[in-house]
Amino acid sequence: ATTREHHSKCLPCRFYEKVWALHQDPEASVDNPLLAFSLIKRLHSDWPNIVYSEEATENTQAFHAGFKEVEHELPGTEDLDGAAQALMRLQDVYGLSVKGMANGIFQRACTSCPPLYSPGRRASLSADDCFHVGKVAYDTGDYYHSIAWLEEAVSLFRLSYGSWNPEDRSSLEDALDHLAFSYFMAGNISHALSLSKEFLQYDPSNQRVARNIAKYKKLLETGTVARAVPLQRPNSTHLQSRDAYEELCQRPGDQVGLAGGVPWSPTPALSPLSCSSWLSLSQPAPEHLPHLSCSYETNGSPYLLLQPAKKEMVQIRPYVALYHDFISDAEAETIKGLAGPWLQRSVVASGEKQQKAEYRISKSAWLKDTADPVVQALEQRIAAVTGLDLRPPYAEYLQVVNYGLGGHYEPHFDHATSRKSPLYRMKSGNRIATVMIYLSAVEAGGSTAFIYANISVPVVK
């Protein structure tokens, strides 16, 4: 192993230079999910490892005191594990290659496919990063994901074996150990055996792994092992429409903004941050017609006479229209600022109660029209364009949602589908319409998918 004397700079200095190189552009850490994951991991585990390492002997008291001051504000274990799960979600929804993600490239698994997203600032993942993602999957019995990420961790650890990274919590031995057991649970005993034998080369005295090797050999000799079958990706929500949903999410984001006439906004960019889905009520075959057009609309409302709504027809059957420039940058920033302090994990209806669910990963807050004149003006604009009455109790408050790192909302109905729903006992009745406004632009992904209509609408701020 590389000895500590080989490093000419102090440990905190090297760590500082590494962080500075990664985060010269503050916005890049938000735009790029890999940088965001690395930042969360560095604040949760890498930095404490540096502060309390044997090398940080100079100014130890100052290091510890400074760290203690901000420790309560740093990401916790739930944040870090959630970020790891977000990377796996992105991997699944967009069909991304794990090796590509580890190299900082958002490349689909097919070799001929162009990259989904090429960040301006490329950030690769370390062996320890890949190990942590794989370990999160491993701890939940998800060997489909653990094998892919631990394989990458093992490959990277092998390349750097002998070098010393004090901020890391794992090693080649850890990765080999977890990968071997993952393969065992997946039914691939021969590969579990070879990985365990490699482990013993680095740690010959490990009796537990030695017992595993004996067990694997016996299973292979007696032929009591069923033939390994390809691992199936977990489907925790048993979603029948998942394939259709993900296919829509993966479509290039160029089918909106290109209708007849000149679009009001450039071809939308694509967000590695989320894909949401609504199910339309009707299920006719989609019909794209050549006379789609853009128009200025007042909807008979005096409110829109001086500033008509910019409507683009996207599809005739079912009827799909998109309104451009519906909200100004200043209004969007005001709404995000108002909602920010109140954001909490989004919930879904479950009978009489509300609960968190894996198929809805986001944070949300509700804003009354009395919160700010901007909210009131926006509700007036929505009422003018839709012709709907937004006064209480006919409409709910404005819900502001932040999808964060790898957030999503799997296919769902926005209206209640059971007569037992509390909505039926309220004066407002069941939902009949949803207005959704994008408050920010994104680098990739983030489309809204309509499963039965077979259309996805990319993000346009």
Q: What is the DSSP string of 84-139?
A: HHHHHHHHHHTTB-HHHHHTT-B-BSSTTSPPSB--SS--PPPHHHHHHHHHHHHH
**Quick one: pLDDT band at residue 5, thresholds 50, 70, 90?**
very low
**Mean predicted confidence (pLDDT) in 221-237:** 72
pLDDT at 2: 37
pLDDT tens sequence across 385-430: 999 999 888 888 999 998 888 888 888 888 888 877 777 777 778 8
State how far the Cα of 277 lies from the Cα of 328, in Å rounded to an integer. Answer: 25
Which backbone phi and psi does 449 adopt, to 5 degrees?
Answer: -105, 130
pLDDT tens sequence across 281-292: 333 344 445 568
User: Who contacts 114 (Cβ-Cβ below 8 Å, separation ≥6)?
Assistant: none
pLDDT at 285: 41
Helix axes 77-93, 127-139, angle to 10 degrees: 90
pLDDT at 386: 93
**Quick one: pLDDT band at residue 110, thresholds 50, 70, 90?**
confident
pLDDT at 265: 32
Radius of gyration for the chain, computed over Cα atoms and rounded to the nearest angstrom: 26
pLDDT tens sequence across 322-353: 899 999 999 999 999 999 999 887 766 655 56
Contact 48, 91 (CB under 8 A): no
Residue scoring higher pLDDT (111 or 355): 111
pLDDT at 202: 92
Is the pTM higher than 0.85? The answer reads no
Contacts 24+ apart (CB under 8 A), 288-295: 288/315, 288/316, 289/316, 290/260, 291/260, 292/259, 292/260, 292/316, 293/259, 293/260, 293/261, 294/259, 294/260, 294/261, 294/262, 294/263, 294/264
**Quick one: pLDDT band at residue 358, thresholds 50, 70, 90?**
low
**Mean predicted confidence (pLDDT) in 20-37:** 73
State how far the Cα of 111 lies from the Cα of 48, in Å rounded to an integer. Answer: 39
pLDDT at 189: 93
Residue scoring higher pLDDT (86 or 12): 86
260 CB neighbour count, 10 Å cutoff: 12
User: Who contacts 122 (Cβ-Cβ below 8 Å, separation ≥6)?
Assistant: 104, 105
7: tokens are: 């490093």
Instruction: Quickly name the fold that domain 77-222 has.
Output: 1.25.40
Q: Where are the domains of the chain?
A: 11-69, 77-222, 324-457
**Mean predicted confidence (pLDDT) in 227-250:** 76
Q: Amino acid identity, residue 461?
A: K
State how far the Cα of 307 lies from the Cα of 310, in Å rounded to an integer. Answer: 9
Burial of residue 60 (number of CB atoms within 10 Å: 0-12, 13-18, 19+): exposed
Query: SS3 string of 245-304?
Result: HHHHHHCCCCCCCCCCCCCCCCCCCCCECCCEEECCCCCCCCECCCCCCEEEECCCCHHH
> What percentage of the chain carries pLDDT values higher than 70?
78
On the question of pLDDT at 299 being above 80, the answer is: yes
pLDDT at 271: 35
**Mean predicted confidence (pLDDT) in 151-164:** 87
Alpha helices in 160-239 (DSSP H): 172-185, 189-202, 207-222
pLDDT at 281: 34
Q: Which range in 74-83, 276-285, 358-367 is most confidently predicted, on average pLDDT? A: 74-83
User: Who contacts 414 (Cβ-Cβ below 8 Å, separation ≥6)?
Assistant: 278, 431, 434
> What percentage of the chain carries pLDDT values higher than 90?
36
Q: First-to-last CA distance in the chain?
A: 51
- Determine the longest span between alpha carbons in the chain, in angstroms: 84
Contact 459, 254 (CB under 8 A): no
**Quick one: pLDDT band at residue 6, thresholds 50, 70, 90?**
very low
State how far the Cα of 282 lies from the Cα of 455, in Å rounded to an integer. Answer: 13
pLDDT at 317: 83
Contact 244, 451 (CB under 8 A): yes
**Quick one: pLDDT band at residue 360, thresholds 50, 70, 90?**
low
pLDDT tens sequence across 37-94: 888 888 888 877 777 776 656 667 776 777 788 778 888 888 889 899 999 989 998 8
Q: What average pLDDT does the chain have?
A: 80
State how far the Cα of 39 lies from the Cα of 273, in Å rounded to an integer. Answer: 16
User: Who contacts 285 (Cβ-Cβ below 8 Å, separation ≥6)?
Assistant: 454
Helix axes 77-93, 242-250, angle to 10 degrees: 80
Which backbone phi and psi does 255 adopt, to 5 degrees?
Answer: -90, 0
